[in-house]
Structure 1
């Protein structure tokens, strides 16, 4: 199984991912404001189902890849570092999108909300890249079953994403109103998140992991 220090590091990376602006967060905030908290929560259930799809696909794929290519980690490491730096730039670049930029959405049924949440996440390139480029860097053949490690890490990522997104859904209206009236805090949030993402990329680039 994955050592505790690796789990904590991965948990930090997963937390940064869920706090970084992306399709899931924008959709959940917009849905919660436009249709209410219940609609936001139902949409969140769909998003979590999308996470399960990504996790299972990554668990099977990473297991097969590591078995076929022993040094695949090094290639994925470079991709992961590049992806984190890309996210950092997307966060701090001029006219970058804030976490609480809201879109107007029409009211939908619970079933449609679940499906839309699922599709938003299943087709989310941010999450797909996280599982392809960052996720495998926390897996080592020396820690036992690669499939078991994948499920362990994926479950932690889903748990973190669920609780963070649930907090955002429950407080979406107040948070959006606060940031709308205090645009300076949006800039602070963007630059702080971009700096942390860049720091994580540098840390991963310098780290060596035994095969």
Structure 2
């Protein structure tokens, strides 16, 4: 695999990454409502998911899932259920919130006061699950990866491409996090705090509906 091939793949991944999706929404929402540290945990979770997808794809399991309607439907509706959960949770939070407090960057003592929302492991898991429970990513690996991997080195090439995807997507999400900090002060206002909860919840539900309509 030469450098030109890697650049082309990185370009494709970047173009896909800048299109808003569940992964980007999760990172943005965490950056706006919690802290950069927890958003970084989301990113690590998403990146880990890409590596797992790459490994699974290399082992041929993605092909099995794509050809088995039962397996695909099971994964799809688990993903739909998870996105629906995120959406409803966000909307419910909007109904009860007074304002979304601004957290000082990297203030570990403050973040630890709310284990449910401030746990680094919890936000890592959210990022990982949001990535893993999206069958569209499996379809991406099936349609894109075969064009870049060689028969002689499927596993190593797949892991390399998965690593490149993790780096490219993570880099873009870091930009998203930096931009989010510019608007964070708005969340001190009750109306803005509620609006971001409702909007985020609605978008998560929209992604769930769109995912439910995905077909093989």
TM > 0.5 between the two? Answer: yes
Q: Deviations over 1:134-181 (max 9, x none)?
A: 332211263232615433443343233322233224432x23124x22
Task: Please give the residue correspondences for 1:190-205 in structure 2 after superposition, counting only pairs within 5 Å.
Answer: 190-202=201-213, 204-205=214-215
For structure 1, list consecutive stretches of 5 or more residues without a partner in the other structure.
33-39
Change (3 A) 1:19 1:151: same
Q: Which residue is equivalent to 1:127?
A: 128
* Offset, 1:101: 4.9
Q: Which residue is equivalent to 2:58?
A: 63
CA distance in 1, matches of 2:167, 2:78: 22
Cα pair 1:88 1:197 within 8 Å, conserved: yes
CA distance in 2, matches of 1:85, 1:185: 21
TM-score by length of 1: 0.58
Change (3 A) 1:186 1:120: closer
CA distance in 1, matches of 2:50, 2:211: 22
TM-score by length of 2: 0.57
Q: Which residue is equivalent to 2:115?
A: none
* Partner of residue 181 from structure 1, selected from 163, 172, 191: 191
* Offset, 1:198: 1.4
Change (3 A) 1:151 1:97: farther
* Partner of residue 137 from structure 1, selected from 127, 139, 156: 139
Q: Deviations over 1:77-125 (max 9, x none)?
A: 424531442214541479534598559899438xx9xxx875344333x
- How many residue pairs get aligned? The number is 183
CA distance in 2, matches of 1:127, 1:121: 9
Cα pair 1:91 1:190 within 8 Å, conserved: yes
